[in-house]
Amino acid sequence: MRYLPHSDAERAEMLGVIGAKTIEELFAGVPRSALQTTSLDLPGHQPEYMVENHMRALSGKNRAAGDGPFFVGAGAYRHHVPASVDHLIQRSEFLTAYTPYQPEISQGTLQMLFEFQTQVANLTGMDVANASMYDGSTATAEAVLMACRLTRRNKIILSGGIHPHYRDVVRTYMGEGEHLVCLEASPEGQGGITAEVDDATAAIVIQTPDFYGHLRDVKSLAEAAHAKGALLIVVVTEAVALGLIEAPGALGADIVVAEGQSIGNALNFGGPYVGLMATREKFIRQMPGRLCGETVDAEGKRGFVLTLSTREQHIRREKATSNICTNSGLCALAFSIHMSLLGEAGLTKLARLNHARASALADALEQVPGVELLNDTFFNEMTLRLNKPAAEVVEALVAKNIIAGVPVSRLEPGKPELENLLVLAATELTSDADIAALVAGLKEVLA
């Protein structure tokens, strides 16, 4: 079977219209060094069972998070996802159309999104939440744009405790320049943010617990921002933390964004994930994305609809509040189902368990020669300064089937002062045996 739709005659016709003699001529503007000039040397086609064998062999090379001690965090966390979550997300009530513009056929999806928004608003301590964003990093960038619209200012101050990938996504959205102040990495939780706030500042962006695991003082930063007419955006990459730390909304945050993967969603090789975004009611019209609302139908029965759609691009075209016209529906559903199963008491218990496991990890690591713990505060994640480059240590421990965490140099390359730093997380799945294996491995590798 031929999978390429265009015949040679059609290609010649298209080239004729464009005015190029050959397809190569179309790429004349691409530097030679960036062009693939030789063929890709791919094998010929194979029978299906051979492809399956090949793929199985490839997947056998993976070392899955559950295959042994695993301490990776830094924005993606290995938590238990109950089997009931994966079962329930496949129920037919949720298999309604991708875009629930027609409420009469989409009540399952719409009600679920409404419940999701309610949960996110409660978790973050805010008035309203949207129906989800792509992930935590894009939610952060959208929050920054929203703050600029609200304040009619364009200076943004990013704390040095923001996840480096989130910082890079904001930079991509905002462009480089004096309007974007990215503070130096702050692995020891140091501040210095308030000194940068001035009358041109649209928002301060902080993360708590931050990339290095420290809990940040949300309240004082909110006051510093508000004193200059700026907003405070709080980023949370580990949503389970919201079960234990005080809600950022209660501490004065104006926009709260988070990565929701931790609740109901597996690591999935880094995505798809689900971004959470919540804000104050007075800012609702500048909030990007979808909003689901509760209403009554012609017979007075409770029902759900997309609301405030006049701000969105399918109606407002290029004047839309944002070009986010979709949401992470399936991941949001998994989040919402797991949250419903946990309930408030269950989430608090899960969060306490995470902190208890991390405390056990911290206590054990402090006994290892060559390890310095940089955190006075943490939830389930912390930063160590090792006596040698962290990337080498992680590689050496992989050979012992221990995934020790994320070397900061992986996300912040070329910064010698960060080279020996290792960020690691514990969750409810971290056992005493995992911790003992890491401690024994580190003693060997750091000696």
Binding site for another protein (CB under 8 A): 152, 285, 310-311, 315-316, 319
* Token pair in block for residue 174: 């905002």
Q: Give the whole-angstrom CA distance, residue 58 versus residue 75.
A: 26
CB of 325 to another protein, least distance (A): 15
Closest CB to another protein among 165 and 228?
228
Q: Give the whole-angstrom CA distance, residue 186 versus residue 212.
A: 8
Closest CB to another protein among 74 and 230?
230
Q: Give the whole-angstrom CA distance, residue 213 versus residue 382.
A: 5
CB of 162 to another protein, least distance (A): 30
CB of 310 to another protein, least distance (A): 4
Closest CB to another protein among 2 and 152?
152
Closest CB to another protein among 130 and 137?
130
Closest CB to another protein among 305 and 386?
305
Closest CB to another protein among 63 and 285?
285
Closest CB to another protein among 231 and 276?
231
Place of tokens 């629930």: 100
